[in-house]
């Protein structure tokens, strides 16, 4: 089951954190971020796709070195719709952060300063999207949305920006 399917399943489950209101809030925050920085929808999609790839890589590394509970703990601790620079620092080393900023500058055409302002907004939004599959009563239990995002089978068929866009279309 793909990432979007896991999100839809989580929305339909009374035991998981996903809800129509939660997804609407995330999509609204993504749109507000785009509006605040004057981004068109294509640039916003490239931004979230790239940030999502780096978040996935970081969470995969945490999962491999510290266990799946640590990856879920990071998602639970730093997900949200408000800016959170600590989320960026918790997920990325300085070298990985520099690599991501350079990659985003190249892919979006935005300058480094703008990217550095956007990251504390974008990273918690990606994590908030992933938290949708967490269990309401025990958020440390296996999260099928996070598991799908981390793409346990390794086929690389995951893109957070596509999943957010599909969720937005689904909600309309």
Pair of tokens at residue 159: 């893109």
Q: In a 10 Å sphere around its CB, with 0-12 CB exposed, 13-18 middle and 19+ buried, how is residue 19 labelled?
A: middle
Residues of the chain where predicted confidence (pLDDT) is lower than 50: 156
Q: What is the pTM of this model?
A: 0.86
Q: How far apart (Å, rounded) are the C-alpha atoms in residues 52 and 21?
A: 22
pLDDT digits (tens, 9 = 90+) for 74-108: 999 999 999 999 999 999 999 999 999 999 999 99
């Amino acid at each position: 089951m793909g990432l979007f399917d896991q999100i839809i399943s989580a929305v339909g489950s009374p035991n998981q954190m996903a809800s129509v209101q939660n997804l609407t809030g995330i999509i609204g925050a993504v749109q507000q971020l785009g509006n605040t920085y004057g981004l068109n929808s294509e640039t916003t999609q490239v931004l979230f796709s790239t940030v999502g790839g780096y978040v996935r890589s970081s969470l995969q590394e945490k999962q491999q070195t510290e266990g799946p509970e640590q990856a879920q703990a990071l998602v639970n601790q730093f997900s949200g719709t408000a800016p959170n620079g600590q989320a960026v620092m918790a997920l990325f080393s300085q070298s990985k952060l520099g690599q991501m900023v350079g990659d985003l500058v190249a892919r979006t055409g935005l300058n480094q300063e703008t990217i550095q302002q956007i990251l504390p907004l974008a990273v918690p939004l990606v994590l908030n999207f992933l938290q949708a599959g967490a269990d309401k009563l025990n958020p440390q239990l296996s999260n099928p949305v996070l598991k799908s995002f981390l793409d346990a089978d390794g086929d690389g068929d995951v893109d957070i920006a596509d999943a957010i866009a599909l969720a937005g279309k689904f909600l309309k």
